[in-house]
Amino acid sequence: MATKVTLKIGDLTKISIDVIVNAANASLMGGGGVDGAIHKAGGSTILAECIQIISKIGSCQTGQAVITNAGNLPCKKVIHTVGPVWRGGTQNEHKLLATCYQNSMALAIENNLSSIAFPTISTGIYHFPKKEAARLAVDTVSNFLNENPGKIKEVVFVCFDEENLTLYQQILATQKM
């Protein structure tokens, strides 16, 4: 069965799905943007599990993904991944952002989670250019699904603003997924 790929505008924390992906930072201790929204809506059990993870791994590297409970959120689990800070595009940012999407989907499969929702990782406080990030997100997810058929039933791209929504609409319209 082909994977359903959809696009939504709104708040990632409100989505009922197996797993949502958090655009976190290396400390996993929360922050602003979607990270702040997830911890605020999800409650303290998410942070408690992040603290346990950090006590074992030290810090979450850029591109890495880890999984926790989802506290009070309507999803079952949260995957925390650390996107690259945009530094002009010369510091491996594209590859690192692709790795976030790949590792998140691989971790979802490992945990038997078959529906996943992504925010537009790195395009807020980390300033990755939105159009390049949208293209990279769609291409990376598409390639991953082709290479791992039948494992993920649904992918939702969640945009928080009209600009990202329009970019994703344009890119998805030209993409066979």
Active site residue 161: no
Q: In what order do the strands lie in the sheet with 154-159?
A: 4-9, 154-159, 115-118, 19-24, 77-82, 65-69
Among 60, 119, 152, 155, binds ligand AR6 (CB under 6 A): 119
Cβ atoms 73, 38 nearer than 8 A: yes
Residue 12 binds ligand AR6 (CB under 6 A): yes
The one catalytic residue among 11, 18, 35, 139: 35
Residue 158 binds ligand AR6 (CB under 6 A): yes
| Count of C-beta atoms within a 10 Å radius of residue 59 | 13
Residue 152 binds ligand AR6 (CB under 6 A): no
Residue 136 binds ligand AR6 (CB under 6 A): no
Q: Helix, strand, coil % (nearest 5) of the chain?
A: 40, 20, 40
C-alpha 23/C-alpha 97 separation (Å) is: 11
Among 37, 73, 137, 152, binds ligand AR6 (CB under 6 A): 37
Residue 81 binds ligand AR6 (CB under 6 A): no
User: 64 or 122: whose CB is closer to ligand AR6?
Assistant: 122
Task: Give the HSE-up count for residue 102: Cα atoms under 13 Å, Cβ half-sphere.
Answer: 15
Active-site amino acid positions: 35
- Which positions touch ligand AR6 (CB under 6 A)? 11-13, 23-25, 31-35, 37, 83, 119-126, 158, 160-161, 164
